[in-house]
Amino acid sequence: MEIAAVGGYNEVGKNMTALKIGDEAVVLDMGFHLPKIIDFEEEGGDRRTVTTDSLRSIGAIPEDRIIDAWKTKVRAIALGHCHLDHIGAAPYLGSSFPGALVLGTPYTLEVLKAMMDDELRFDNKLKTVQPNSSLKISDNIEVEFINMTHSTLQSTMMAVHTKEGTILYANDFKFDNHPVVGSKANIERLRELGKEDRVKALIVESIYANDERKTPSEKVAREMLKDLFMSTENEQNLIVATTFASHIARLKSIIDFGEAINRKIVILGRSMHKYITSAESLNLVNFSDRAEIIGYAGQIKRKLKEVEKQGRSKYLVICTGGQGEPGSVLQKMAADQLSFEFQKEDHVIFSNRVIPVEVNRMHREALEKRLRDKKARIFSNIHVSGHAGREDLRDLIKMTSPEHIIPAHGEPQMLSALGELSEELGYTLGVDIHIMGNGKIITV
């Protein structure tokens, strides 16, 4: 069995791993490197017209040519959840794997289809797999989607079962027993895999491997928001809240508490519109009856004029821009690009953390400075993470008892931190702990 670290082993994002078992192969995730995409768009680039080679050359998508010899052997491209650093490159790279099925949970594939309406389309057949279900993709390979909790809907770990053993791909998860939307993590299935002694290798995220904590439940973030909405002096002020567009559970909490203080709720931004309408099409939520959802720039501008005219203290505006991304609604509002001006003591709630890369930190700092200059009240980090902390990672390793551990989804120091944790648990670097780096292929 060969494992190829295609992307996500030098950086946070750009996730893509390939497995080759005999004469067959499976690809796990195909993601964007979001900072590179942001830089590309800041410089005037358009994802609808850019070539795949151009995105490869700037490092925005994985360098999949390291597995050129495998491409005709790939039976499936399995996508663990809908975040762009896991699925964003699929419309650009998918057609390089002729005949490969694209597998994902219903929500993951619904978001992917919405992406393809905006960007490239590819010819690979999409095949829905429900959480906690499996699909046999050949006589020798079965892919199982194990329900996990994360910061979006229908997130999964993927177990690739083969005659050589099981590869467990665990990129982006936490163990939440009190999710606000959706089902809790299927920990029992992970324990079963450990008891069956089948996990040949665990490929696992490393982002917070050095953060000595267990990640709190989403219920904690909901209580933080409740306290903020219900116990601050906000009667005379506009409230603006931002979070990740894909964080449907967080959006639900913000809407719930906006209603509790009798605010008219408007949701602004193309990505907000995309993720919410995808969830609504599957009857996972119904926000449209509770809020006005607007995705297009001209309509956003008109709605903000209406907010100004009808009285800002009547409104809760939920919008994109928690990272301070150029072109996001909140960034444009703060830069006076939408015929809107913040007033003194307007509330701005950041219900997210900055993705830990330098360009995001810079953009967010610039946005917060603009808001402070306008005398807005800033409520920062009203959030709990969707990613495993060091103690969650320890529990995962102990319950699944993998033969090999492959740290993934992180910068080199993050991978090394997970390597050190694995050594604490009795594994040995270079023997059964493998720090890969993009472009490496190992045999286990």
* pLDDT tens sequence across 207-253: 999 999 999 999 999 999 999 999 999 999 999 999 999 999 999 99
Q: Measure Cα distances from 325 to 104, 105, 424 in Å.
A: 28, 28, 39
The pair of structure tokens assigned to 285 is: 């939520």
- Give the sheet arrangement for strand 347-350, strand by strand: 292-294, 264-268, 315-319, 239-242, 347-350, 377-379
| Residue 358 pLDDT level (bands cut at 50, 70, 90) | confident
Identify the weakest region by mean pLDDT among 100-109, 164-173, 305-314: 305-314
Burial 41-65 (b: 16+ CB within 10 A, else e): beeebebeebebeebbeebbbbebe
In angstroms, the CA 95 to CA 121 distance is 9
- Give the bridge partners for 405, in sequence order: 202, 433
- Predicted pLDDT at 112: 96
Going by pLDDT thresholds of 50, 70 and 90, the confidence category of residue 327 is: confident
Two tokens, residue 184: 């809790």
Percent of the chain with pLDDT over 90: 87
Tokens standing for 219? 């219920």
List of residues 6+ apart from 342 with CB closer than 8 A? 238, 333, 334, 348, 371, 374, 375, 376
Cα–Cα dist 372/114, whole Å: 36
- Asked if the model's pLDDT at residue 169 lies above 80, the reply is yes
Residue 192 has pLDDT above 90, yes or no: yes
- Given a cut of 70, whether residue 20 has pLDDT beyond it is yes
Phi and psi, residue 169, nearest 5°: -105, 110
What confidence score (pLDDT) does residue 48 get? 76
Mapped onto helix, strand or coil, the DSSP state of residue 329 is helix
Tell me what pLDDT residue 119 has. Answer: 66
Phi-psi sector, 93: left (phi>0), alpha (psi -120 to 50), beta: alpha
pTM: 0.95
| Identity of residue 48 | R
Task: Work out the mean pLDDT of the chain and round it to a whole number.
Answer: 94
Query: What are the tens digits of pLDDT across the range 304-317?
Result: 999 988 899 999 99
Give the residue carrying structure tokens 């700092």. 365
Q: Please compute the mean of the pLDDT values over residues 109-114 and round it to a whole number.
A: 95
In this structure, are strands 165-170 and 377-379 parallel, antiparallel, or unpaired?
unpaired
Q: What is the pLDDT of residue 171?
A: 93
| pLDDT score, position 290 | 97
Q: What is the pLDDT of residues 396-421, one digit of tens each?
A: 999 999 999 999 999 999 999 999 99
Do 225 and 429 meet the contact criterion of CB atoms below 8 Å apart? no
Instruction: Count Cβ atoms below 10 Å from residue 116 Cβ, excluding itself.
Output: 15
**126-128, strands of its sheet edge to edge:** 126-128, 101-104, 74-78, 24-28, 16-21, 2-7, 441-443
CATH of 2-214+386-443, one of 3.60.15.10, 2.40.110.10, 3.40.718.10, 3.60.150.10: 3.60.15.10
Distance CA 162, CA 352 (A): 38
Q: How far apart, in Å, are the Cα atoms of 438 and each of 15, 67, 138, 354, 415?
A: 10, 12, 28, 24, 12
* Residue recorded with tokens 């709990």: 384
The percentage of residues in the chain with a pLDDT greater than 70, rounded to a whole number, is 99
Q: CA 170, CA 155: separation in Å to the nearest integer? A: 10
Domain coordinates of the chain in residue numbers? 2-214+386-443, 218-379
Confidence of residue 354 (pLDDT cuts 50, 70, 90): confident
Q: What's the pLDDT at 35? A: 85
* Half-sphere exposure at residue 344, Cβ-oriented, CA atoms within 13 angstroms: 0
332 C-beta neighbours (distance < 10 Å), count: 22
Residue 382 is classified by DSSP as -
The predicted model gives 169-194 an average pLDDT of: 96
- The count of C-alpha atoms lying within 13 angstroms of the C-alpha of 355, restricted to the half-sphere facing its C-beta, is 25
Predicted confidence at residue 355, as pLDDT, reads 77
The DSSP element (H or E) to which 267 belongs, if any, is: strand 264-268
Interval 59-67 mean pLDDT: 96
Q: Which of 1-10, 97-106, 332-341 has the lowest mean pLDDT?
A: 332-341
pLDDT digits over 140-162, tens only?
999 999 999 999 999 999 999 99
What is the C-alpha separation between 413 and 406, in angstroms, rounded?
14
- pLDDT number for residue 406: 98
Candidates 3.40.50.10710, 3.30.1360.180, 3.90.440.10, 1.10.3720.10; correct CATH number of 218-379?
3.40.50.10710
